[in-house]
Amino acid sequence: MTTKDEITAAVKTIFRDTVKLEPEKIDALTTGTHLRDDLELDSLDMIEVVYELEEKFDVQIPEERVKEIQTFGEIIDGLHEALTAS
């Protein structure tokens, strides 16, 4: 089983590698970090992140769900839920 801490570490790595966040921003990520307002991610960034998340965790994230995701915590919670449900 994958814990939230393991998911968080993997997602931080994906953010670092995919959208090239600076180490300070990676270290400062919290469940309340807003993806668009705080990290200034655009829709292309989100598509790239979602692709990497799907590959890493072997999950499918529906497009309508992607549009609803607003915070870093929502990514972690959604992945944890998907991984523990299977």
Tokens of 1: 């089983």
Amino acid letter at 82? A
The reply to whether 42 belongs to the active site is: yes
- Residue 2's nearest CA partner among 66, 57, 42, 50 is 57
Pick the catalytic residue from 5, 27, 37, 42: 42
DSSP letter string, 16-52: HHHS---HHHHHH--TT-BTTTTT---HHHHHHHHHH
As annotated, the active-site residues are 42
